Structure 1
Amino acid sequence: MRVVGLMSGTSHDAVDAAAADLTLHDEGSVLRLAPHGMVSAPYEPALRRALAAALSPSPTSMADVCRLDTGIGQAFAAVAVRADRELCGGRAELIASHGQTVYHWVSGGRVHGTLQLGAPAWIAEATGCPVVSDFRPRDVAAGGQGAPLVSLIDTMLLRGRPGAPAALNIGGIANLTALPATGTPVAFDTGPGNALLDAAVRETTSGRAGYDEDGALAARGRVHTPLLRRLLAEPYYRLPPPKTTGKELFHAEYLRTALEGFGTLAPPDLLATLTRLTARTVADALRPLGATEVIASGGGTRNPVLMAMLRQELAAGTALLTSGALGLPAAEKEAYAFAVLGFLTLHGLPGNAPECTGADGPRVLGSLTPGRRPLRLPPNPARTPVALVVRPG
């Protein structure tokens, strides 16, 4: 089946669409993925401003939510059409859309609800393909964290690798999946990836820049140790997994509060401190798991200063590489992951890893919006795949 996976992460800067051929082998125990590449388009400036203005802790209205649901759905639809035309030759059979997370309701260490916008009807109407969307709520309803959902794909990719491998994604929020040498897989959000870094850049440039390109500002700065110590006192870091977080916690106002009493820090020093915070919290999360290899993906891998600090912070002997070494380019991996989740849903197969999310058991995820043709579901495979093998597309 040729599937397009759509993704926009917590940085809410662009919509990514990755296309792949997915095939079950070995009586359904192995899923083979042949990647066809990715297309991406930034949100229109007005839509991105409206999205940023509606995110917690800012107040919003149901009218704003309705407009965003439509606008984001149309943006996703436009990128899906491009992906079908440019990557699939017009032969895409399924679209899997993560949507745009706008709120993840966490209280007392438990997730009570989660909201992703981007009405799938716009995608189905534009492409004519059936669309699987709204993946997270079913895991939440089953008592899970609803994240990180890529943990199932990570465990399938990592299984069989030597030692204790871990997958790390550094987006607005950083998350990891680890296969300890003994015991079951574990996955959780470690804390801010780029969220506080991007907030600091927007604050210090009055919105003229959205991120620290190539870590250039951080490279010129020095870590402010008292500020780093205050930031590391955040209680979230000491919560046991499974756990998730988001920009509901790590936002611009959180940063302003943390800076109180320190006067005005030079932007390079602030960025160096926040970059060290991300590297430190990721390494601190990995250390108890005995990770021997870390396979990184996401936008944070494009920041050489962050990657260098992460290498410094990781335990001695822990290798750090990107998911490109496994055949999935670091910028594309999450979009491919949701293509896999959509494929599993259409085949009636579970898409969560309950040992990672904390759900009561395996669940088929998402909602299905039919395309133009009559909806015909494929037969359910006899078993759920346990391994994901990437082959050239």
Structure 2
Amino acid sequence: MRVIGLMSGTSCDAIDAAAADLTIEGDTVVLTPLGALECAFPDGLRRDLLAALPPASTTMADVCRLDTLLGQALASAADRADRELCAGRAELIVSHGQTVHHWTEDGHVRGTLQLGQPAWIAERTGRTVVSDLRPRDVAAGGQGAPLVSAVDVMWLRDRPGVPVALNLGGIANITVAVGGRGPLAYDTGPANVLLDTAVREATGGRADRDVDGALAAAGTVHAPLLERLSAEPYYSLPAPRTTGRELFNAAYLRAALAGFEHLSTEDVLATLTELTARTVADAVRDAGGTEVIASGGGTRNPTLMAALGRALDGVPVRTSDDLGLPSDAKEAYAFAVLGFLTVHGLPGTVPACTGARRATVLGSITPGRGPLPAAGGGTAAPVRLRVSGTEPPREPGIRITHAH
């Protein structure tokens, strides 16, 4: 089945579209990558979206407008991916949408909201759409995240040692696939979200990211600020745990920087980079990780990757590209797999990773203009994921301290 996965993460920087041919062979999902695209948001949409996110207040009119505009942007990305990557023959589209709120109280997720009305995707492409994947896990008592953990566990379960999948998006999250404390998954803390926020605050919105980590590389880690940031209670919560812009936002950063106004932008960014590296490394060490497979936009930041390499102190780091999945599009591929499981009536969660009472079939289905995709294969849930054309598992290799 030719499936397109659509993903827009916490950084709200673009829509990632990844196409794959997916089949089930025995207990294994076989993924053949067909290519990936990064699709920019239409002018003004990203600005309006960021302006509406916590801790900002918004109106139901704004929510309706953003839901529609995001749905149209996702529809455009899906249509382009179908034409350019699938020769117009995609059979299923899986849309994560854009998370705008993750309602957490006392360590428990009460609800989660993703915008991006799937009807626009179905109408534009004529394809069946699986969307709204997170709420079912929340309804079953889970965190609703990290949902890619189910794919990570299938993908890495046969690797030696204790492999740890790391996503460096707006928020950093890990999946411990096997061994150690695995399977286990949770958000370790901020990755790009505070870095991007610091740049926007320092430039008055003229810039929104530290390109290639150049500013952080020119700065010095400020130990008192790092100590204050590291005292955040979130880091001591038990796993599984999830977080987002509800906590790590501009107001949070301003409060953390109170009394440190004399610091340069470069020193602030260097300190925030070190915070991400150390909180990730602490999580990897706690899990007994023997290798890290990183993906997400943060892998393009050589300063962050170098800091992570130092903090891990000998634990090898490679990117998911080495295992056949492009690091920039790995989450989009993962959601393609989750939606593929949904139309087969198969669960897409690992309860030990999300904290749910049981594994559940994820999402809602919006029909296209034709019949629903025919779901072949067996009825048993697959336990492995193999990326077509990749080599068998091998021992952890050379540490990577640069981005692609």
Match of 1:205 in 2: 203
One-letter identity of the residue aligned with 1:320: V
Give a deviation string over 1:76-127, Cα, whole Å, max 9, x none: 0001000000000000000000000000001100000000000000000001
Match of 1:382 in 2: 379
Match of 1:130 in 2: 128
2:365 counterpart of 1:368: yes
One-letter identity of the residue aligned with 2:11: S
Match of 2:269 in 1: 271
Distance of 1:67 and 1:298 partners within structure 2: 28
SS at match of 2:90: coil
Displacement after TM superposition at 1:49 (Å): 1.3
Q: Which moved more, 1:47-56 or 1:65-74?
A: 47-56
Which of 142, 148, 153 is the aligned partner of 1:144?
A: 142
SS at match of 1:371: coil
Give a deviation string over 1:245-280, Cα, whole Å, max 9, x none: 001100011000001112331111011000001101
2:128 counterpart of 1:161: no
Distance of 1:378 and 1:329 partners within structure 2: 27
Match of 1:177 in 2: 175
One-letter identity of the residue aligned with 1:327: G
Distance of 1:215 and 1:15 partners within structure 2: 22
Residue 349 of structure 1 contacts residue 380 of structure 1 at CA under 8 Å; is this kept in 2?
A: no
Q: What is the 5 A alignment of 1:284-323?
A: 284-314=282-312, 316-323=313-320
One-letter identity of the residue aligned with 2:111: G
Match of 1:120 in 2: 118
Residue 143 of structure 2 contacts residue 242 of structure 2 at CA under 8 Å; is this kept in 1?
A: yes
Structure 2-normalised TM-score?
Answer: 0.95
Q: Which moved more, 1:105-114 or 1:377-386?
A: 377-386
One-letter identity of the residue aligned with 1:131: V
Residue 153 of structure 2 contacts residue 178 of structure 2 at CA under 8 Å; is this kept in 1?
A: no
SS at match of 2:44: helix
One-letter identity of the residue aligned with 1:148: P
Distance of 2:373 and 2:208 partners within structure 1: 44
Match of 2:77 in 1: 79
Displacement after TM superposition at 1:379 (Å): 5.0
Which of 312, 325, 329 is the aligned partner of 2:326?
A: 329
Segments of structure 1 that go 5 or more residues without pairing to the other structure are none
Match of 2:225 in 1: 227
Q: What is the 5 A alignment of 1:345-360?
A: 345-360=342-357
Residue identity over aligned pairs, in percent, reads: 65
Q: What is the 5 A alignment of 1:187-202?
A: 187-202=185-200
One-letter identity of the residue aligned with 2:351: P
Distance of 2:22 and 2:371 partners within structure 1: 22
Segments of structure 2 that go 5 or more residues without pairing to the other structure are 391-404
Displacement after TM superposition at 1:206 (Å): 1.2
2:30 counterpart of 1:16: no
For residues 342 and 180 of structure 1, do their structure 2 counterparts lie closer, same or farther at Cα, with a shift above 3 Å needed? closer
Give a deviation string over 1:305-344, Cα, whole Å, max 9, x none: 0000001001x43110000111001001000000000100
Distance of 2:122 and 2:272 partners within structure 1: 41
Match of 1:258 in 2: 256
Residue 24 of structure 2 contacts residue 377 of structure 2 at CA under 8 Å; is this kept in 1?
A: no
2:9 counterpart of 1:2: no
Distance of 1:110 and 1:100 partners within structure 2: 21
2:51 counterpart of 1:58: no
Residue 180 of structure 1 contacts residue 291 of structure 1 at CA under 8 Å; is this kept in 2?
A: no
Displacement after TM superposition at 1:386 (Å): 0.6
Displacement after TM superposition at 1:59 (Å): 0.5
One-letter identity of the residue aligned with 1:107: E
Distance of 1:236 and 1:298 partners within structure 2: 22
One-letter identity of the residue aligned with 2:256: A
For residues 183 and 261 of structure 1, do their structure 2 counterparts lie closer, same or farther at Cα, with a shift above 3 Å needed? closer
Q: Which moved more, 1:112-121 or 1:279-288?
A: 279-288
Residue 35 of structure 1 contacts residue 392 of structure 1 at CA under 8 Å; is this kept in 2?
A: no
Aligned residues between the structures: 390
Residue 91 of structure 2 contacts residue 373 of structure 2 at CA under 8 Å; is this kept in 1?
A: no
Displacement after TM superposition at 1:375 (Å): 2.8
Distance of 2:158 and 2:248 partners within structure 1: 35
For residues 173 and 132 of structure 1, do their structure 2 counterparts lie closer, same or farther at Cα, with a shift above 3 Å needed? same
Distance of 2:50 and 2:18 partners within structure 1: 25
Q: Which moved more, 1:40-49 or 1:242-251?
A: 40-49
SS at match of 2:175: strand
| Alignment RMSD (CA, Å) | 1.2
Residue 348 of structure 1 contacts residue 380 of structure 1 at CA under 8 Å; is this kept in 2?
A: no
Displacement after TM superposition at 1:392 (Å): 4.1
